[in-house]
Amino acid sequence: MFVLSKRNQMIVRQTKSTNMKKLLFLLTLTGIFYNISAQVKPDYENQKAMTDLELGQYYKQKSKKQKTTGWVLLGGGAALFAGSIAIAENATIDNEASLVVGSFAFLAGTVSMIASIPVFISGSKNKGRAEVLLKQHNIPLSMDSRRNIPVRSVGIGIKISK
């Protein structure tokens, strides 16, 4: 049987620890490089140009999604903020865990509410872009692109003067 001294046992433990750290670091780098190599470059040559109508509809849909995201961030932040206030009201000085949870909830709620501001601004910009692009186009009555028939109308104007 082979017996190591205390000093040699410490050296073996340190070596195992550093080897494990190196292995973990190499596995992390391998995962990162694997993901980087998996990224595909978009094929711009085969991509067709969007018409003003399609681009306007794209911006309109994007605006709706951004507005929804903004409301979710604002509502979730407000709920966390209100929850942190309720936790702070009921917390005692002896219960340090509830104070920490309340502080994190307060911070997360505040950051979430502040993060909703640029999302709302971006949504309103995209809405304006959509309005400009869709202003001169007939909106299709159906979502089926094969039946995109413009609707024509006739109007009569009567001038009324005193």
Rounded Cα gap, residues 51 and 145, in angstroms: 13
DSSP 46: S
Residue 155's pLDDT band, with cuts at 50, 70 and 90, is: confident
pTM above 0.85, yes or no: no
Neighbours of 107 (CB within 10 A): 13
Residues of the chain with pLDDT > 90, as a percent, come to: 31
Give residue for tokens 């005692």. Answer: 92
Question: Is 84:103 a contact under the CB 8 Å cutoff?
Answer: yes
Residue 90's pLDDT band, with cuts at 50, 70 and 90, is: confident
pLDDT tens for 6-40 read: 666 666 666 666 777 778 888 887 777 766 655 56
Rounded Cα gap, residues 107 and 130, in angstroms: 35
- Per-residue pLDDT at 100: 84
User: How many residues would you count in the chain?
Assistant: 162
Residue 98's pLDDT band, with cuts at 50, 70 and 90, is: confident
Q: Give every CB contact of residue 20 below 8 A, 6+ residues apart in sequence.
A: none
For residues 35-63, average pLDDT: 75
Question: Is 113:81 a contact under the CB 8 Å cutoff?
Answer: yes
Residue type at 106 in one-letter notation: F
- Per-residue pLDDT at 76: 95
Least confident residue range of 16-30, 70-84, 102-116, 145-159: 145-159
Rounded Cα gap, residues 55 and 58, in angstroms: 5
Give residue for tokens 């292995």. Answer: 23
Residue 64's pLDDT band, with cuts at 50, 70 and 90, is: very high
